[in-house]
């Protein structure tokens, strides 16, 4: 019978992270990029929780850390969306290709 | 009691004028008369103290062999080349310095007094007196120095004051240029003097004059052959410029741009005799080096003749006097070079009186004629300015060497000393110079004071502040030489180097110098007074026009220096300019250009697209992670630039 080991979690986490990264690099829509960032963060959370369970089961360092990540992620999304709305009001667009003010 | 006080407190002599300088600059500047009185008063007090101290020195013959020295530590350092470098500062009183102290303070007092009349109504009256005070203070400090470094400091102070005073008329470009010329010329030579002083410290470990004298007399270090010669020549460089010896005499005639009392001060009492005095002070050094003595003697004799020939053709009254000073300084150097400190100091003493007298007389004339300086445009001034004219005549008799006036005795002393040492060529040069001196001096006197009056001039005699100094100095110009007559030579009993000279009266030399002087005056009389239209003089100038032009243009020495500056200094500057443009600027611009090229290359990464940045960031993280995996975290940190 197949038991779920640490490897499975890590592979899942890596897959999620890669999917998120791919999204961040390819999506044109700023909101979609934010969502992809959330996916990457949650991939990290899975990693943290899994390592916590399998390697240091006694103290909950990894789990508590993941709670912090969730909190920070919520704040980050809040700010991110606010920025996107502010840009949208200026440019009437949420397409990242239009956000090229940082160019020389 | 007073004498004892003066001997113990001789340091007051330079200090009082220095205090007057400070007081005038900071307190009394708005009140002109008060400033002038302060300057004259402090110098007169110095003169009193100096005279008392000199009385103390000249009544005790012990001081000739053992100078009265009191000194204190100035600073001490430890350096590899000079371990235990200890520099003292102090006062050294012996007959030479006592004589100088009296001479400088006495002459300065009367020049200061004269300046009140001369500078009346000029801008910067108070400032002028503050400079004069500083000048006197510096010179007196130089005179009483017991240490060569202290002397050098005073030496430079004198140079600074001459710069300030020559350039006193700051609105005149020529005055500013002359001041710069004087300063720069002296600085060039002072570099040599400084090197000489440093070498003395390195070789002998002391700069105190008395100690140096003893050490040099017993110097037997044959391993460093020639070191003394080198030091002597280096030390002599300073006096060459300061005392206007060829080839660095060029600044002295230009120094006439300053107010006339300054010319008198520079030429008679302070600046230029400093060089002669320094050589006299370091006679123990020159005495050991016969070749350096030769150099001094030849330089002196050549300068004397050289300057006298230039003076023949000059037209400005002060220029003629300036070249005569150069010439007389040459005499003093010649006397030092033939080893006669007595004759040199004696001539300095008499020269101070008659040259100060003539400069002040020239100043009196210039004031009366509203600064018209050409002697050809004067004439007949004796009727309107009798005091100035007759005192000037006394000065002229003194410098020409007519007995019993002062210059005769001292010039005779020099001629006899030169002859006694067997320098026949130098003797001939000096004798011929004596003839020229009488000629050009009396040419000037006949042209300026006698003959036809120039109707364009309306001269009148100067006020008492100007004529009293003239009269006092005239007395000096008559009598100052009686101290050193060949029959009863008081002077030589006190002021000598080594052992006193007892040269018997040399009637041959005496006759010769009188004949030469009379011949010079007679020639001047026939050419410039009897011949009212100056036909002979003009004919001479035309007949020998090449020689005349060379003399009028002062042997083109200034032009030579100008050429040297233009051709060599400016030429070198052009090469350095190219170096600056292409090498120095090239490096700086190259750094700038490289930053620009790097920027041009790197700007392609600056796309402005967020996702590109994210990708680059991710790749960076990946590289760090791979590095961590391969070399281990603790080794990776330093690789990435952190501290392990």
Per-residue pLDDT of A14-44, as tens digits, reads: 999 999 999 999 988 989 999 999 999 999 9
Per-residue model confidence as pLDDT tens digits over B64-81: 777 888 888 887 776 666
How far apart (Å, rounded) are the C-alpha atoms in residues B500 and B493?
6
- Model pLDDT, residue A78: 93
B513 and B630 together in one domain: no
B470 and B544 together in one domain: yes
Residues contacting residue B524 through CB under 8 Å, at least 6 positions apart? B438, B439, B440, B441, B442, B443, B445, B446
In a domain, residue A1? The reply is: no
Residues contacting residue B408 through CB under 8 Å, at least 6 positions apart? B398, B401, B402, B481, B513, B514, B517
| pLDDT exceeds 70 at position B119 | yes
B416 and B516 together in one domain: yes
Chain-chain contact of B608 with A102 (C-beta, under 8 angstroms): yes
In a domain, residue B332? The reply is: no
Q: Provide the token pair at B43.
A: 């110098």
Does the predicted TM-score (pTM) go above 0.80? no
B433 and B509 together in one domain: yes
- Domain end: B551, B576, B593, which one? B551
Which whole number is the average pLDDT over B197-219?
81
Chain-chain contact of B608 with A25 (C-beta, under 8 angstroms): no
Higher per-residue confidence, B319 vs B457: B319
| pLDDT exceeds 90 at position B270 | no
**Is the N-terminal amide bond of B247 cis, ω within 30° of 0?**
yes
Chain-chain contact of A24 with B607 (C-beta, under 8 angstroms): no
Check the CA dihedral B601-B607-B611-B613 and report its sign. Answer: positive
Cβ atoms B104, B14 nearer than 8 A: no
In a domain, residue B88? The reply is: no
Of B606, B611, B615, the CB nearest to A103: B606
In a domain, residue B580? The reply is: yes
User: Closest chain B residue to A104 measured between Cα atoms?
Assistant: B606
Q: How many domains does chain A have?
A: 1
Q: Name the percent of chain A lying above pLDDT 70.
A: 96
B411 and B455 together in one domain: yes
Long-range contacts (CB closer than 8 Å, 24 or more residues apart) made by B502-508 = B503/B416, B503/B417, B503/B420, B506/B412, B506/B416, B506/B419
In a domain, residue A38? The reply is: yes
- Give the number of A-B residue pairs with CB atoms closer than 8 Å: 27
How far apart (Å, rounded) are the C-alpha atoms in residues B291 and B289?
6
Chain-chain contact of A99 with B610 (C-beta, under 8 angstroms): yes
Chain-chain contact of B609 with A100 (C-beta, under 8 angstroms): yes
B498 and B583 together in one domain: no
In a domain, residue A103? The reply is: no
Q: Name the percent of chain A lying above pLDDT 90.
A: 57
| pLDDT exceeds 90 at position A46 | yes
B470 and B534 together in one domain: yes
B414 and B460 together in one domain: yes
Q: How many domains does chain B have?
A: 3
**For residues A4-14, b (16+ Cβ closer than 10 Å) or e, as one string?**
eeeeebeeebe
Residues contacting residue B116 through CB under 8 Å, at least 6 positions apart? B36, B40, B465
Chain B: nearest CA to A92, how far in angstroms? 18
Which whole number is the average pLDDT over A40-66?
90
In a domain, residue B422? The reply is: yes
User: Closest chain B residue to A100 measured between Cα atoms?
Assistant: B608
In a domain, residue B102? The reply is: no
- Domain end: B533, B551, B569, which one? B551
Which one of B599, B601, B605, B608 would you mutate to disrupt binding with A, by most A Cβ within 10 Å of its Cβ?
A: B608
**Which H or E run contains B90?**
strand B85-93
Which whole number is the average pLDDT over B481-485?
78
ipTM over 0.95: no
In a domain, residue B641? The reply is: yes
Q: Provide the token pair at B114.
A: 């004269």
Interface residue ranges in chain B relative to chain A, Cβ cutoff 8 Å: 603, 606-611, 614-615, 618
User: Closest chain A residue to B607 measured between Cα atoms?
Assistant: A103
Q: Provide the token pair at B271.
A: 């600046």
User: Closest chain B residue to A98 measured between Cα atoms?
Assistant: B609
Q: Which residues of A touch B603 (CB under 8 A)?
A: 104
What's the CATH number where A28 sits? 1.10.287.3510
User: Closest chain B residue to A37 measured between Cα atoms?
Assistant: B614
For every residue of A58-95, DSSP letters joined together read SS-HHHHHHHHHHHHHHHHHHHHHHHHHHHHHHHS--B
Chain A: nearest CA to B591, how far in angstroms? 23
Which whole number is the average pLDDT over B352-375?
82
| pLDDT exceeds 80 at position B536 | no
Q: What is the Cα Rg of chain B in Å?
A: 31
Check the CA dihedral B110-B115-B120-B123 and report its sign. Answer: negative
In a domain, residue A48? The reply is: yes
Q: Which residues of B touch A103 (CB under 8 A)?
A: 606-609
Which whole number is the average pLDDT over B121-139?
87
**For residues B207-229, b (16+ Cβ closer than 10 Å) or e, as one string?**
bbbbbbbebbeeeeeeeeeebbe
Which one of B605, B609, B625 would you mutate to disrupt binding with A, by most A Cβ within 10 Å of its Cβ?
A: B609
Chain B: nearest CA to A102, how far in angstroms? 5
In a domain, residue B370? The reply is: yes
Of A24, A103, A104, the CB nearest to B611: A24
Per-residue model confidence as pLDDT tens digits over B49-62: 888 888 888 887 77
Helix, strand, coil percentages (3-state) for chain B, rounded to 5, are: 75, 5, 20
Domain ranges, residue B617? 609-644
B613 and B602 together in one domain: no
Block residue for tokens 């020939």:
B309
- Name which of A69-83, B219-233, B427-441 the model is least confident about: B219-233
B535 and B466 together in one domain: yes
Chain A: nearest CA to B617, how far in angstroms? 11
Chain-chain contact of A25 with B615 (C-beta, under 8 angstroms): yes
B496 and B375 together in one domain: yes
Which whole number is the average pLDDT over B152-158?
90
Q: Name the percent of chain B lying above pLDDT 70.
A: 95
In a domain, residue A70? The reply is: yes
CA nearest neighbour of A38 among A83, A82, A84, A69: A69
Domain ranges, residue A33? 8-97
B379 and B417 together in one domain: yes
Q: What is the mean pLDDT of chain B?
A: 83
> With 0-12 CB in 10 A as exposed, 13-18 as middle and 19+ as buried, what is B296?
buried
């Amino acid at each position: 019978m197949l038991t779920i080991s640490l490897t499975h979690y890590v592979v899942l986490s890596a897959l999620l992270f890669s999917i998120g990264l791919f999204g961040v690099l390819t999506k044109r829509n700023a909101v979609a990029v934010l969502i992809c960032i959330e996916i990457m963060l949650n991939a990290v959370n899975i990693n943290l929780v899994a390592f916590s369970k399998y390697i240091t089961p006694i103290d909950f360092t990894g789990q508590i850390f993941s709670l912090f990540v969730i909190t920070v992620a919520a704040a980050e999304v809040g700010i991110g969306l606010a920025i996107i709305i502010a840009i949208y009001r200026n440019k009437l667009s949420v397409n990242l290709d239009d956000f090229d003010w940082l160019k020389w | 009691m007073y004498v004892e006080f003066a001997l113990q407190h001789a340091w007051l002599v330079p200090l009082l004028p220095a205090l007057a300088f400070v007081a005038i600059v900071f307190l009394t500047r708005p009140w002109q008369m008060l400033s002038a009185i302060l300057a004259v008063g402090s110098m007169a007090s110095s003169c009193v103290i100096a005279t008392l101290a000199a009385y103390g020195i000249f009544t005790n013959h012990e001081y000739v062999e053992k100078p009265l020295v009191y000194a204190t530590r100035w600073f001490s350092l430890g350096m590899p080349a000079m371990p235990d470098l200890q520099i003292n500062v102090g006062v050294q009183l012996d007959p030479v310095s006592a004589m100088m102290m009296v001479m400088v303070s006495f002459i300065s007092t009367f020049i200061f007094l004269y300046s009140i009349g001369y500078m009346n109504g000029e801008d910067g009256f108070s400032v002028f007196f503050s400079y004069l005070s500083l000048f006197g203070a510096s010179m007196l400090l130089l005179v009483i120095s017991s240490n060569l470094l202290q002397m050098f400091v005073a030496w430079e102070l004198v140079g600074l004051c001459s710069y300030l005073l020559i350039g006193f008329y700051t609105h005149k470009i020529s005055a500013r240029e002359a001041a710069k010329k004087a300063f720069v010329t002296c600085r060039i030579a002072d570099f040599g003097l400084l090197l000489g002083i440093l070498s003395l410290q390195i070789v002998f470990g002391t700069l105190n004059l008395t100690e140096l004298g003893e050490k040099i007399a017993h110097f037997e270090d044959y391993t460093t052959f020639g070191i003394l010669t080198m030091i002597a020549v280096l030390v002599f460089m300073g006096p060459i410029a300061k005392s206007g010896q060829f080839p660095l005499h060029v600044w002295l005639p230009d120094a006439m741009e300053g107010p006339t009392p300054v010319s008198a001060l520079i030429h008679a009492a302070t600046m230029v005799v400093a060089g002669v005095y320094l050589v006299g002070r370091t006679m123990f050094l020159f005495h050991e080096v016969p070749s350096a003595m030769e150099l001094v003697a030849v330089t002196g004799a050549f300068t004397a003749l050289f300057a006298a020939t230039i003076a023949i053709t000059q037209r400005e009254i002060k220029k003629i006097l300036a070249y005569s000073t150069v010439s007389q300084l040459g005499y003093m150097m010649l006397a030092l070079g033939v080893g006669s400190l007595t004759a040199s100091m004696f001539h300095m003493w008499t020269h101070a009186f008659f040259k100060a007298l003539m400069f002040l007389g020239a100043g009196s004339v210039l004031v009366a004629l509203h600064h018209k300086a050409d002697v050809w445009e004067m004439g007949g001034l004796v009727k309107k300015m009798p005091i100035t004219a007759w005192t000037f005549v006394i000065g002229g008799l003194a410098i020409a060497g007519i007995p019993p006036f002062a210059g005769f005795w001292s010039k005779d002393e020099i001629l006899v000393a030169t002859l006694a040492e067997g320098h026949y060529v130098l003797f001939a040069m000096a004798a011929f110079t004596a003839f020229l001196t009488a000629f050009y001096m009396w040419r000037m006197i006949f042209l300026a004071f006698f003959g036809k009056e120039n109707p364009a001039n309306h001269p009148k005699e100067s006020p008492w502040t100007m004529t009293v100094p003239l009269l006092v100095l005239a007395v000096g110009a008559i009598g100052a030489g009686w101290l050193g007559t060949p029959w009863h030579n008081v002077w030589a009993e006190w002021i000598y180097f080594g052992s006193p000279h007892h040269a018997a009266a040399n009637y041959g030399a005496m006759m010769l110098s009188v004949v030469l002087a009379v011949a010079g005056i007679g020639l001047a009389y026939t050419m410039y007074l009897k011949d009212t239209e100056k036909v002979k003089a003009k004919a001479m100038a035309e007949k020998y026009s090449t020689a005349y032009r060379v003399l009028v243009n002062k042997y083109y020495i200034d032009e030579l220096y100008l050429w040297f500056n233009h051709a060599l200094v400016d030429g070198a500057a052009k090469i350095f300019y190219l170096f600056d443009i292409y090498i120095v600027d090239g490096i700086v611009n190259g750094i700038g250009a490289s930053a620009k090229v790097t920027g041009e290359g790197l700007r392609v990464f600056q796309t402005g697209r967020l996702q590109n940045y994210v990708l680059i960031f991710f790749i960076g993280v990946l590289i760090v992670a791979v590095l961590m995996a391969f070399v281990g975290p603790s080794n990776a940190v330093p690789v990435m630039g952190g501290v392990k």
